Chain A
Amino acid sequence: MFNLAQIAIETARRRGASYADARVMDIRSRELSTKNGEVGALNEAESLGLGIRVIAAGAWGFASTDRLTQEGVSACAARAVAIARASALAKLKDVMLAPEAPAVDTWQNPFVKDPFRIPVERQLDLLLAADAEMRRVKGVTLAETSMAFRRIEQFYVSTEGSRIHQVKVQSGAGIVATSFAGDEIQKRSYPNSFGGQHTLEGYELVESFDLAGHAPRVAEEAVALHSATQCPEGTRTLLLDSAQLGLQIHESVGHPIELDRVLGMEANYAGMSFLTLEKLRTLRYGSEIVNVVADARLTHGPGLGTFGYDDEGVPARCTPIISNGLFTGYLSSRETAALVGEKQSGGTVRAESWNRLPMIRMTNVSLLPGKGSSADLVAGTDDGIWMETNRSWSIDDHRYHFQFSTEIAWEIKGGKRVRMLKNPSYSGITTEFWNSCDAICGPQEWKLWGTPNCGKGQPQQVMGTGHGASPARFRNVRIGAAFAK
C-alpha cells in the first residue's frame, strides 16, 4: 500500500505540486443491534481507498479514489493537482505550513481481544441477554442494545519524507430502556446515551460493562421517571456526572477551540467561535480549578482521540487548553498554526475515511481531575441538583449560549440525594458556566468518554473524539427552562 501512496505523491510532484501527502485507509466495521428481543442491525463493511492532498500554484487540492492500481492512483493524483490549480483562481495568498520533521514509524493501539475474532453469536447473546433483562421490568415499552467495532489501518506518505503505518481498533456498546406512558416518553441508557461508550480498545471493553447486570436498574429508572417530580425551574447549584460533563466539554470547550472555526473556515456550516485570537492567554475561561488539555497521546488513555500520528504526519501531542482557568491554547493544523504564527501544529488533523479531506478535529479534550469523591461532592452540597446522562444538546454557532437536557436528575438537600427529578435541563453562557465551577472530583472517578458521532465539514465527516472528566459542581446555573410550562 505504501507503494501506491508513493506513486500518488510522485505523480503529484511531477505535475507541479510543491507539497503532497497521501493516505491509504483500509477500514473494517461491524455493527450489531437488538430491539425488543429481536436482532435489529447485523452488518459488516469494508472500505479501501486512497486520498491525496496537494499544494499546487500555492493552493489546496484533494482527490480520492478506490481504484488502487497504478493507473487509478496516478489519475487521482493528477486530478488533485488540477483541482489545486482551479483553487488558485480564487487565491488571496499562498498556503503556508508550519514546519514538521518527517516521521518514519509504525503505531498500533494496544488491545486484548480483537472484536472481529469474537463470534457474532457470542456478541448477539450478550446483547440479547441485556435486552431480555430490560424487558423483564413492567412498563418498559422499548428495549434496545447495540455494539459497534472498527479497525482502521492507514499508510501515510508525504513529499517531505514521512512514512507512517498505523492501526487503530475501537469498540463500543450500550443499552437503552424506553418507557412510554400517558403522553410522555422517558428513557435511561448505560453506560452512556447515543450508542453507549466507545474507546480505542478491544472486546474486553464491552465485557467490562456487564450490560445484563446493569439492565434491570436502567429499566427500573426509565419507568420510575414517570412518577418522579418535574425538575423545578430556577437558578440552582448543578452537579454533573462525568458522562454529561464530557459532552459539556465537547460542545463548549472542544468546538470553540478549533482554530479553523476561529479563522472563519467553517463559517457557512458548523459556525465560528467566540474565542477570537486576542482572547488567547488573556481570557479567564473558567475558575482557578479548571484545567483542560487536548491530549492525543496514549498516556492520556485509549480515547477516540488517541493516535500515534495525525493525518498530517504530526506526532500525538498534548496542548494545554485551559490552565488554572486561563485560556491557553487552540486545536491547530499545520496550515492554521502558520496563519496565527504558532511554531508548530497541535497535531489534531484527522479524516473520517480515505475519501475525506483531513481537517482539525478534537483529540481527547479533557477536564483534569480535582480532588475528593462524588460522595464528598454531594455531602458538601446543601441545595442542588445532580444531573446524569445526556438526552439532548443545543449550542449556538459561536459556541457561547447552550442548553442541555439529561435523562435523569436527583435533588440534593442537606448533603443528601432526596428525590428523583424528571425532564431535567440547564442552560448558560460558556465562560460564565466554567467560571462557576467550584469543585471537581478526583482521579478515582475520572473517566475518558468517547463521542463517536461528532459531525463537521462539507462534505460532512463523522469523527470520534475523547473527553475525560470527573463529576463536578457549578454554582448559580439556570435550570429547568426547557420543560417549563
Chain B
Amino acid sequence: MKARSKIRRTTAAGAAADALPSQAELRRLAARVLALSEADETEVTIEAESEALTRFANNTIHQNVAEEGLMISVRAVVDGRTARATTNKSDEESLKRAAQAALELARHQPKQPGLLPMAGPAARGAAKPVRRYFEATAAATPADRARVVAALCKEAQRGKHTAAGIFSTGAHALALANSRGVFAYHTQSRAQFSITAMDGDSSGWAKATSPDVREIDAETLARRAMEKAALSRQPREIPPARMTVILEPAAVLDLAGFLFYDFAGTSVLDHRSCFNERMGKQVFGKNIQLWDDVYHPLQTGAPFDGEGQPRQRVRLVESGVPKGLVYSRATAKKMKARPTGHGLPLPNEWGEAPMNLVLEGGDSSL
C-alpha cells in the first residue's frame, strides 16, 4: 500500500489530473512486475484511470459519481503455455502473487500449439503517436460539470421539456511492457455529453465525445435535442413498407458497428463472420468505403494492441467490396497475412477486432 501512495494522490476537488501516474511511474511499476516473474516470458499491462460522470434526469442531477483505479495484469508464458492474472493492488506481495498466479495457471494446462513467443521491440516498430490528452478535460471538476448541467436543466424547464443525460470527464493511462523489451504507453483524456429531451409524446437526442472537453458544446447539443423533440411532436404510425430513409451519423454507426467483429481474421477462420465466402464480392453499395483507423482525428484509443503491437490503418471495404481483415500476430500466421496490430489481450479465443471503424463521407449534402 505504501508504494501506491507514492504514485497517486486524490484531492477532494476530484479532478482526474490529480490522480494519474506519470509515464515514468508506470514504467518503474512495470519493471518491478517483470523482475518478480519467474516465467519464461512475461507481459504486464497497467491501466490507471480517474473518471467522473454527472447524470441528470427529470431536469435535475440524480447521480454523480467518480472513480479512481489501478489495474495490473500479468501474462506469463511457460513452455508453450500462457495465462493471465490481474490485481488492483500494487504492493510487493500482491504483485508477486499475481505473477505467481499467472505462472501457475499457465503450467496447469495442455501446450498451446498456436502460441507465439512474445514480440520484441524490433518486431513492434514505431507506433505513430496520437495526442489525446488535454489538461482541460483532466482538470474538470464536479462543479464544472454541474454548472453546465444546471444551466441546461433550467433551459429545458423553460421550454417545458424534460431533460435526461450525462456529462462525463476523465483520463486514463495505459502501459504495456514485456520481458523482451517492449514498452508502449498511451494516455488520454475523455469527455462525453449526451442528452435526451422529452416533450410529451416526442423526444430528441444528441451526443458528442471528445478528448478535449472544450470541444463539447453542450448548449448547442441540448438545443438540437429540444428542436428534434419539438419537430417530432404528435407522431403517427406508418405501415411497414420499403421506403427511402435518411439516417443521422449516430444511427449509421449503430448499423456499421454490428459488423465490427465480422472483420476479424479469427471470425473468418471460425466461419462465424458474415463475410465468409463473401470477401472480394460486391456486398455493399459502391459508395461504401470503410476503414479501421485509430489515427483518425475524431477517433479514440491507444495506437497499439493487446500485445503492444502498433495499430495499422486497414481498409476493410473498398467501393462496397469487403477487402481487408484485421489480424493479431497469431491469426496472421495462421492465415498467411501480416499482423495489423489489432490483437486482443492474450489469452483469448476471439483473436482480434477493429476498434476504430471509420465510414468515409460521400459528396452529397443533406
Which residue of B59, B81, B349 is within 8 Å of A41 (Cβ)? B349
Among the listed stretches A161-169, A261-269, A302-310, which one makes contact with chain B, having 4 or more residues with CB under 8 Å of it?
A261-269
A265 interface neighbour in B62, B73, B271, Cβ under 8 Å: B62
CB pair B349–A86 under 8 Å, yes or no, is: no
Binary contact readout B194-221 vs A (1 if CB under 8 angstroms, 0 otherwise) = 1110100000010000000000000000
- Decide if A289 is an interface residue (CB 8 Å cutoff): no
B68, B70, B108: which contacts A64 (Cβ < 8 A)? Answer: B68
Answer yes or no: A3 CB below 8 A from chain B CBs: no
With both beta carbons as reference points, the residue of chain B lying nearest to A142 in the complex is identified as: B270
Q: Is the CB of B5 within 8 A of A64?
A: no
List CB contacts (< 8 Å) of B71-99 with chain A.
71, 73, 81-89
Verify A44–B105 contact, CB threshold 8 A. Answer: yes
Q: How far, in Å, is B242 (CB) from chain A's closest CB?
A: 14
B142 touches A83 (CB 8 A): yes
Complex Cα spacing A72 to B12, Å:
11
Assess whether B66 is in contact with A83, with CB atoms less than 8 Å apart: yes
Partner of A90, one of B60, B102, B105, B272: B60
B4 in the interface, Cβ–Cβ < 8 Å?
Answer: yes
User: Nearest chain-B residue to A266 (Cβ)?
Assistant: B57
- Report Cα–Cα, A79/B52, bound state, in Å: 11
**Docked-complex contact A119 and B85, CB < 8 angstroms:** no
With the chains together, A143 CA to B359 CA distance in Å? 34
- Asked if B166 is at the interface (CB within 8 A of a chain A CB), the reply is yes
Q: How large is the interface on B (under 10, 10 to 19, 20 to 34, 35 or more residues)?
A: 35 or more
Interface centre among A40, A72, A267 (most CB of B within 10 A): A267
B139 on interface, CB distance cutoff 8 Å: no
Which of A31-39, A247-255, A407-415, A465-473 lies at the binding interface?
Answer: A31-39
Beta-carbon nearest neighbor of B94 in chain A: A46
Chain B proximity mask over A346-370: 1 for CB below 8 Å, otherwise 0: 0000000001110100000000000
Which of chain A's residues have a CB closer than 8 A to the CB of B4?
67, 69
**Among A33, A41, A60, A120, contact of B108 (Cβ-Cβ < 8 Å):** A120
User: Is B51's CB under 8 angstroms from A459's CB?
Assistant: yes
Asked if residues A86 and B142 are in contact (CB atoms below 8 Å), the reply is: yes
B14 at the interface (CB under 8 A from A): yes
B10 surroundings in chain A (CB, below 8 A): 65, 67, 72, 75-76, 79
1/0 per position for B162-174, CB-CB distance to A under 8 A? 1011101000000
Across the interface, do B68 and A66 meet the contact criterion of CB distance under 8 Å? yes
Do A89 and B146 form a contact, CB below 8 Å, given A43-B84, A268-B165? yes
Residue of A35, A49, A83, A459 with most chain B CB atoms under a 10 A cut-off? A83
Of the candidates A35, A42, A69, A82, which one forms a contact with B109 in the assembled complex, judged by CB atoms under 8 Å apart? A42
Determine whether the beta carbon of A120 is less than 8 Å from that of B105.
yes
Name the distance in Å between B8's Cβ and chain A's nearest Cβ: 7
Which residue of chain A has the shortest Cβ distance to B58 in the bound complex?
A: A264
Q: Are B65 and A78 in contact (CB under 8 A)?
A: no
Are B5 and A84 closer than 8 Å at their CB atoms?
no
| A92 lies within 8 A of B59 (CB) | yes
A78 to B5, CA, bound (A): 17
Q: How long is the Cα–Cα vector from A18 to B349 in the complex, in angstroms? A: 49
Interfacial chain A residues near B64, Cβ < 8 Å: 59-62, 83-84, 86-87
Instruction: Tell me whether B33 is interfacial, beta carbon within 8 Å.
Output: no
Minimum CB distance partner of A77 in chain B: B12
A279 on the interface (CB 8 Å rule)? no
Indicate whether A60 sits within 8 Å of B12 (C-beta atoms), given known contacts A38-B112, A42-B83, A183-B277. no
Contact yes or no, B114 A38, CB < 8 A: yes
Asked whether A45 is an interface residue with its Cβ less than 8 Å from the other chain, the reply is: yes
Pairwise interchain contact A89-B143, C-beta atoms closer than 8 A: yes
Known: A49-B69, A60-B62, A91-B61. A43 touches B86 (CB 8 A): yes
Q: Are A180 and B12 in contact (CB under 8 A)?
A: no
State whether A267 and B196 are in contact (beta carbons under 8 Å apart), knowing that A42-B109, A66-B70, A75-B10 are contacts in the complex. yes
In the complex, are the beta carbons of B272 and A178 less than 8 A apart?
Answer: yes
Specify the chain A residue showing the minimal Cβ separation from B51. Answer: A459
Interface residue? B294 (CB, 8 A): no
State how many angstroms separate the Cβ of A167 from the closest Cβ of chain B: 19
**Is A124 positioned at the interface, with any CB of B under 8 Å from its CB?**
yes
Chain B residues whose CB sits within 8 angstroms of the CB of A185 once the complex forms: 271-272
Which A residues are CB-close (under 8 A) to B348? 40-41
Return chain A residues, CB-CB under 8 Å to B285. none
Contact B69 A66 (CB under 8 A): yes
The chain A residue sitting closest to B348, CB to CB, is A41
Identify the stretch in B36-44, B125-133, B147-155 within 8 Å (CB) of chain A at 4 or more residues.
B147-155
B118 interfacial contact with A, CB 8 Å: no
| Contacting pair B195 A268 (CB below 8 A) | yes
User: Could you give, for residues 244-287 of chain A, a 1 whenever the CB lies within 8 Å of some chain B CB and a 0 otherwise?
Assistant: 00000000000000000001111111000000000000000000
Q: Report Cα–Cα, A90/B146, bound state, in Å.
A: 7
Q: How far is the CA of A357 from the CA of B166 in the complex (A)?
A: 15
Contact B11 A264 (CB under 8 A): no
Q: Which of B88, B89, B276 contacts A180 (CB 8 A)?
A: B276
Say if the beta carbon of B110 comes within 8 Å of chain A.
yes
Identity of the chain A residue whose Cβ is nearest the Cβ of B12 in the assembled complex: A78
Closest residue of chain A to B106 (Cβ to Cβ) is: A42
Give the chain B neighbours of A268 by CB distance below 8 A: 55, 57, 164-166, 194-196, 205
Asked whether, in the complex, the Cβ of A62 is within 8 Å of the Cβ of B66, the reply is: yes
| Given contact pairs A35-B349, A42-B84, A267-B57, A72 touches B5 in the complex (Cβ within 8 A) | yes
Taking CB atoms, residues of chain A closer than 8 Å to B59 are 90, 92
Judged by a CB distance under 8 angstroms, whether B101 is at the interface is yes
> Shortest Cβ distance from A423 into chain B, in angstroms?
15
The chain A residue with its CB closest to the CB of B65 is A62
B60–A44 contact, CB under 8 A? no
**Chain B CB within 10 Å — which of A33, A39, A72 has the most?**
A39
| Known A183-B277, A268-B196: A357·B141 in contact at CB below 8 Å | no
List which A70-117 residues lie within 8 A (CB) of chain B.
71-72, 75-76, 78-87, 89-92
Residues of B within 8 A of A61 (CB): 64, 142
CB closest chain-A residue, reference B145: A86
Known: A44-B85, A79-B66. A91 touches B271 (CB 8 A): no
Q: Is B280 part of the contact surface with A, judged by Cβ < 8 Å?
A: no
Taking a contact as CB atoms under 8 Å apart, the answer to whether B14 and A79 are in contact is yes
* Residues of chain B lying within 8 A (CB to CB) of residue A72: 5, 10
Question: What is the CA–CA distance of A256 and B13 in the complex, to the nearest angstrom?
Answer: 37
Q: Are B272 and A83 interface neighbours, CB within 8 A?
A: no
Contacts of A62 in B (CB 8 A): 63-66
18 additional contacts (CB under 8 A) given A78-B12, A87-B142: A39-B109, A48-B89, A67-B1, A72-B5, A75-B12, A79-B11, A82-B13, A83-B66, A84-B64, A86-B64, A86-B141, A87-B54, A87-B61, A87-B64, A124-B109, A178-B270, A263-B58, A458-B166
Chain B residues close to A by CB (< 8 Å): 1, 4-5, 8-14, 51-71, 73, 81-89, 101-102, 104-106, 108-110, 112-114, 141-143, 145-147, 149-150, 153, 162, 164-166, 168, 194-196, 198, 205, 270-272, 276-277, 347-349
A-B contact pairs, 30 of them (CB 8 A): A38-B112, A39-B112, A42-B106, A43-B86, A44-B84, A48-B88, A62-B66, A63-B66, A63-B67, A64-B66, A66-B69, A69-B1, A72-B10, A76-B10, A79-B11, A79-B13, A81-B12, A83-B14, A84-B64, A86-B142, A86-B146, A87-B61, A90-B146, A120-B109, A141-B271, A180-B272, A180-B276, A183-B276, A267-B57, A458-B53
- Residues of A at under 8 Å CB distance from B? 33-35, 38-49, 59-69, 71-72, 75-76, 78-87, 89-92, 119-121, 124, 128, 141-142, 144, 178, 180, 183, 185, 263-269, 355-357, 359, 458-459
